[in-house]
Amino acid sequence: MIRVGAVIVLLTVVAALAAPWAVPYDPSSQQLSLRLERPSPSHPFGLDELGRDIFSRVLAGARISLLVGITVVGISSIAGIVLGAIAGYFGGWLDEAISRSIDVLLAFPGILLAIALVAVLGPSLKNVVMALSAIGWVGYARLVRGQVLRAREFEFVQAARALGARTPRILFRHVVPTTLPAVMVQATLGMAGAILAEASLSFLGLGVQPPTPSWGTMLNGGRVHLLDAPHLTIFPGAAIAVLVLGFNFLGDGLRDVLDPKRQRV
């Protein structure tokens, strides 16, 4: 599974990086006379409602998906690690404040808060990243807090403390690295979550705005042509499903590799 996941992710990354040169047609160029044309050898995924090549747009859309995934996971994980480590290591009122904030944010299921935030901030790629990061750090913070609570009692941490190491050094040199395998698994699965969330918001018309080729936006555009041109829906959706499946395979595999207890189960 982990290999299948790695291959899918790697191929998508390569496709996204090579997209500007690899696309057979300009993703924005329109051929109105050929609008809604079904898949053919010259256009393997067919053409959309404005006569744009769907294959080229799916390739270009991979860049948006990966960009959102990497940015959201990057911001969320860094914020989550710092806040979770502070809460777990120092305890007291800092822990209370951070933990209660986590509780409140977890009271909003899934991407509901992201939908609400984008609704008030306005639909754009930047606001999608902001909204998803605003809710994304919570999972990492909760995970890291739990791990730090355990790690701060480890002998090598106490030894570092006894040797007079300063708190930031103990925290970020000795304690936080013990949490990284778990964070890595969460980040891989988080990539899948972020890609799916961006596509969901774009599908609802709250994310990336046309004409930028995003998979969610393409699916939204395909809704009105469900009866006469289903290929508008099939290919961008398949791209999302395959990439998300790739990250899920990878995350699941990593979790099994990094957690021997789960391997036994």
For other proteins, the binding residues (CB under 8 A) are 1, 100-101, 103-104, 107-113, 115-117, 119-122, 192, 196, 199-200, 203-206, 216, 219, 222-223, 226-227, 230, 233-234, 237-238, 240-241, 244-245, 248-249, 252, 265
Contact 190, 125 (CB under 8 A): no
Give the integer Cα–Cα distance in Å for 35 and 55: 14
**Measured from the CB of residue 240, what is the shortest distance to other proteins in angstroms?**
5
Closest CA to 41 of 21, 19, 24, 59: 24
Between residues 4 and 32, which has the closer beta carbon with respect to other proteins?
A: 4
Between residues 188 and 200, which has the closer beta carbon with respect to other proteins?
A: 200
Q: Which two tokens stand for residue 161?
A: 């403390």
**Measured from the CB of residue 11, what is the shortest distance to other proteins in angstroms?**
16
Question: Who's near 263: CB < 8 A, 6+ residues apart?
Answer: 256, 257
Give the integer Cα–Cα distance in Å for 253 and 258: 9
Contact 232, 225 (CB under 8 A): yes
**Measured from the CB of residue 218, what is the shortest distance to other proteins in angstroms?**
11
Between residues 88 and 207, which has the closer beta carbon with respect to other proteins?
A: 207
**Measured from the CB of residue 107, what is the shortest distance to other proteins in angstroms?**
5
**Within 13 Å, how many C-alpha atoms sit on residue 224's CB side?**
6
**Measured from the CB of residue 232, what is the shortest distance to other proteins in angstroms?**
10
Give the integer Cα–Cα distance in Å for 221 and 27: 15
Between residues 91 and 237, which has the closer beta carbon with respect to other proteins?
A: 237
Which residues are bridge partners to 53 per DSSP? 47
Between residues 20 and 122, which has the closer beta carbon with respect to other proteins?
A: 122
Question: Who's near 177: CB < 8 A, 6+ residues apart?
Answer: none
Between residues 67 and 245, which has the closer beta carbon with respect to other proteins?
A: 245
Q: Looking at residue 173, what DSSP letter applies?
A: I
**Measured from the CB of residue 242, what is the shortest distance to other proteins in angstroms?**
8
Phi, then psi, of 144 in degrees rounded to 5: -65, -40
Between residues 44 and 110, which has the closer beta carbon with respect to other proteins?
A: 110
**Measured from the CB of residue 43, what is the shortest distance to other proteins in angstroms?**
20
Q: How many CB atoms lie within 10 A of CB 102?
A: 20
